[in-house]
Amino acid sequence: MRALLRMLVLALLAAALSAGFAQNPPPPQTYFYHYEWTRGAHLTPAEWARARQIQSWRVHLPAPPPGYTWREIDRNYVLASLSHHTILRVVAAPH
């Protein structure tokens, strides 16, 4: 009886340990420095579609002027116009 109980405990312990190792690690965050993003440059339609609009810009970014919005692309913050996607300012992500 003790041997059966010992085997059961070892099997449960092995299953618990293997379940911990089977989990996938979190994906790395994509960071890419865009040398082409300068004041006056235009974001491509693909970049604009991929960008996420920053709603809580008050935390770490200045207020955007009228007609502009802060967007996050590849962990970089871009202040661009809403109409022509022209870049006014880029805040590169810390890496």
pLDDT tens-place string over residues 14-39? 666 665 555 666 555 566 667 788 89
Find where tokens 């996938």 sit.
24
For 58, half-sphere exposure in the C-beta direction (CA atoms, 13 angstrom radius) is 2
Mind listing the pLDDT tens digit for each residue in 46-74?
A: 999 999 988 776 667 888 999 999 999 88
Q: What is the assigned CATH class of domain 28-91? A: alpha beta
CB 52 within 8 A of CB 72: yes
46: enclosing H helix or E strand: helix 45-50
